[in-house]
Amino acid sequence: MIVRPRPNVFTILFALRGSILPKVAPKVVAITALACLVVGLEQRHAEWFPVTAGIGPFTLVGLALSIFLSFRNGACYDRWWEARRAWGTLIVEMRALARLIPALLPEAGQADVRRRSLRRAVGFAQALHARLRGLDEAGAAEPWLPPQEGLSLADRPNAADAALAGLTHDLAGAMRAGAFGEVSFATLEHKVASLAAIQATCERIQGTPLPFAYTLLLYRTAWLYCLLLPFGLAGSLGWSTPVVAALVAYAFFGLDALGDELEEPFGTDANDLPLDALLHAATAPVLDALGESRPEPPKAERFTLR
């Protein structure tokens, strides 16, 4: 995610870090070169090679394409924002567990259960982070779980869910041992269920992209529009056509590329969610409750927070 001060006029015009321009630059250059070729043909051979088609049809198609791109980007942003809300809720629930578990298991006889339960919560967050980033989730959770369980995580289909199952088992065992009552257990189980719901939300976002046919339709239409636009402008704008075509291509291809980034909010693109920083925020209070040292929070590098 891009983290930088409010931009001034100079930054708005020339900033590349966080801009979508580097991704769409080859396409914009190609459209500009085509526009230069079309203008040259129109001015040299207009009498026998009429290449201009008029601006009327492009106005209507451009308006419709702009609306469709806005709808798609709105849907992509909804996915990005829902993912951010899910991780915000994860931070809240992890802080709640860091308060409740030590308070309900204060006695020395329950120290092992308290420590094991808190470490399972950290293991869950680590496994979920790895799962969403396409990393080794079993390897991420293993250091935080009991040794005998870490060996079997590779055989489990979902290491994060396995960590939650172990957490529920530990809390239920503490209740049966008389550490707290059923009401307190129900409160803790509600927190565990919230963590499971957060995981399901993230997996739904990751596993259900926007319909491919919708994306393909917009992508094809944007390309056709930008390729044909110089033919409609060359007769009236002359050598100003490449400039206008480049601006239109930057706007349409930029919106499309930005939608691609927002559609997959758990990736590592510049505008994706900073999962590393969110993971640190979620696990820091639990590590404090465990009395363990916390790693330094991730810092933005060249205005990018991972």
Q: pLDDT tens for residues 142-174?
A: 888 887 665 566 667 788 888 898 899 988 888
Helices 111-132 and 56-104, axial angle in degrees (round to 10): 170
**Across residues 4-8, what is the average pLDDT?**
58
Question: What pLDDT does 272 receive?
Answer: 81
The residue among 241, 225, 228 whose CA lies nearest residue 43 is 241
Contact assessment for residue 93 and residue 191, using Cβ atoms and an 8 Å cutoff: yes
* 62: nearest Cα among 183, 229, 214, 196: 229
Query: Which has the higher per-residue pLDDT, 6 or 271?
Result: 271
pLDDT recorded at residue 209: 86
CA angle in degrees (0–180, nearest 5) for 213-205-84: 130
Please give the Cα distance from 91 to 173 (Å, whole number). 26
Q: Are 306 and 274 in contact (CB under 8 A)?
A: yes
Please state, in angstroms and rounded to a whole number, the distance separating the CA atoms of residues 135 and 129. Answer: 8
State the greatest distance between any 2 C-alpha atoms of the chain, in Å, as a whole number: 96
The Cα–Cα gap between 39 and 93 comes to 61
Most confident range (mean pLDDT) of 118-127, 132-141, 268-277, 296-305 is 118-127
